[in-house]
């Protein structure tokens, strides 16, 4: 059970500095927080440090300054297995399933720290992802990109996280599968899981999130509600301008495909 009060944020990153190589920081002071029940979006240019931020929170990149807290408790620098036990779930951008294992075995890996709860949790997760139940014995390596994303998200949910970190869940998917992914993410969020989602599909991300942050050069450059950022002239000019043209082109292309079908 959570001991968080209604107002206490679930996750707070304060003035986070982190990097891979000695003397070179990729994060130069990131401030991001997720309150209970929020769906937080993180957008920003390639190389801004979005994945690095999630990896730093999840103990995969060393933190050189600042802090991370979970429901008021300091979790700065904790290792991933400890974070998972404490209620942090993470779905990385790539390589997020065990390809040689079956779907069911992948889900088992998600809850290896509480093996007794596996069967009950599996039933719950199969309710959210019925397609995975039908294919439970299939090797994850033989699945489509969208199905793999489902397996990865389902695995992260096996431990009932209080906050779920998602790195580009819609990347590489067709527009229809992207929509499914966004809707499922929001459903999971509305069921009570706070979500921090990095997305390259910035407009769509701003449409569905409660609040968002623009990360640029390792700093949080802008923040606001999804709607505020989507309408902010500076954000549009700097981060959404070319994407808006892409969206229009994509919509036009879809119309052509629809007509063909």
Ligand X SMILES: Nc1ncnc2c1ncn2[C@@H]1O[C@H](COP(=O)(O)OP(=O)(O)OP(=O)(O)O)[C@@H](O)[C@H]1O
Stretch that binds ligand X, among 7-15, 20-28, 119-127, 136-144 (CB under 6 A): 20-28
- # residues contacting Mg ion (CB under 5 A): 2
The H-assigned helical ranges of 65-201 are 80-86, 103-109, 118-128, 130-134, 145-157, 175-190
Q: Which two tokens stand for residue 97?
A: 């399933």
Rule CB under 6 A: is residue 240 a binding residue for ligand X?
Answer: no
51 in contact with Mg ion (CB under 5 A): yes
**Crossing angle (nearest 10°) for helices 118-128 and 145-157:** 140
Mutual orientation of helices 175-190 and 145-157 as an angle, nearest 10°? 10
Q: Which is nearer to Mg ion, 110 or 169 (CB)?
A: 169
Binding mask 26-65 toward ligand X (x if CB under 6 A, else -) reads x-----------------x-xxxxxxx-------------
Instruction: Kindly state the smallest distance separating residue 227's Cβ from Mg ion, in Å.
Output: 24
The reply to whether 162 sits near Mg ion by the rule CB under 5 A is no
Sheet holding 63-70, edge to edge: 27-34, 11-18, 63-70, 73-74
CB of 18 to Mg ion, least distance (A): 14
Residue in the block written with tokens 């309408």: 231
Q: How far apart are CA 157 and CA 74, in angstroms?
A: 22
Q: How far is the CB of 4 from Mg ion (least distance, A)?
A: 29
Shortest Å, Cβ 48 to ligand X: 4
Candidates 36-44, 46-54, 72-80, 125-133; binding stretch for Mg ion (CB under 5 A)? 46-54
By beta-carbon proximity to Mg ion, the closer residue of 147 and 199 is: 199
Cα–Cα distance measured from residue 129 to residue 152, given in angstroms and rounded to the nearest whole number? 11
Distance separating alpha carbons of residues 198 and 186, to the nearest angstrom: 14
The token duo for 175 is 């527009």
Residue with smaller CB distance to Mg ion, 104 or 220? 220
Is residue 9 a contact point for ligand X (CB under 6 A)? no
Evaluate whether 31 touches 15 at the Cβ level (below 8 Å).
yes
Least spacing, CB of residue 44 vs ligand X, in Å? 6
In the complex, least distance from residue 21 CB atom to ligand X, rounded to whole angstroms = 6
Restricted to residues 172-211, the positions that interact with ligand X (CB under 6 A) are 200
Q: Are residues 189 and 45 in contact, defined by beta-carbon separation less than 8 angstroms?
A: no
Contacts with ligand X by CB under 6 A lie at 20-21, 26, 44, 46-52, 200
């Amino acid at each position: 059970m959570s001991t968080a009060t209604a107002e206490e944020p679930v996750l707070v990153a304060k003035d986070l500095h982190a990097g891979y190589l000695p003397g070179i920081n990729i994060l130069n002071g990131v401030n991001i927080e997720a309150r209970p029940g929020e769906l937080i979006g993180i957008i920003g240019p390639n190389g801004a440090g979005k994945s690095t931020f999630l990896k730093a929170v999840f103990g995969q990149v060393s933190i050189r300054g600042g802090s991370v807290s979970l429901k008021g408790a300091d979790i700065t620098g904790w290792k991933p297995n400890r974070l998972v036990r404490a209620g942090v779930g993470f779905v990385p951008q790539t390589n997020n399933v065990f390809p040689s294992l079956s779907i069911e075995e992948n889900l088992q890996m998600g809850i290896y720290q509480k093996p007794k709860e596996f069967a009950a949790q599996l039933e719950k997760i199969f309710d959210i992802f019925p397609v995975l139940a039908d294919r439970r014995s299939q090797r994850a390596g033989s699945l489509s990109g969208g199905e793999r994303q489902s397996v990865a998200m389902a695995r992260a949910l096996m431990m009932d996280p209080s906050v779920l970190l998602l790195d580009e869940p819609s990347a590489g998917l067709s527009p229809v599968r992207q929509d499914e992914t966004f809707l499922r993410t929001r459903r999971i969020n509305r069921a009570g899981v706070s979500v921090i989602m990095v997305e390259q599909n910035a407009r769509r991300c701003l449409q569905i999130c409660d609040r968002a942050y623009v990360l640029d050069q390792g700093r949080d450059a802008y923040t606001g509600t999804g709607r505020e950022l989507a309408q902010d002239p500076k954000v549009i000019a700097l981060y959404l301008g070319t994407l808006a043209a892409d969206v229009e082109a994509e919509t036009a292309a879809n119309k052509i495909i629809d007509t063909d079908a």
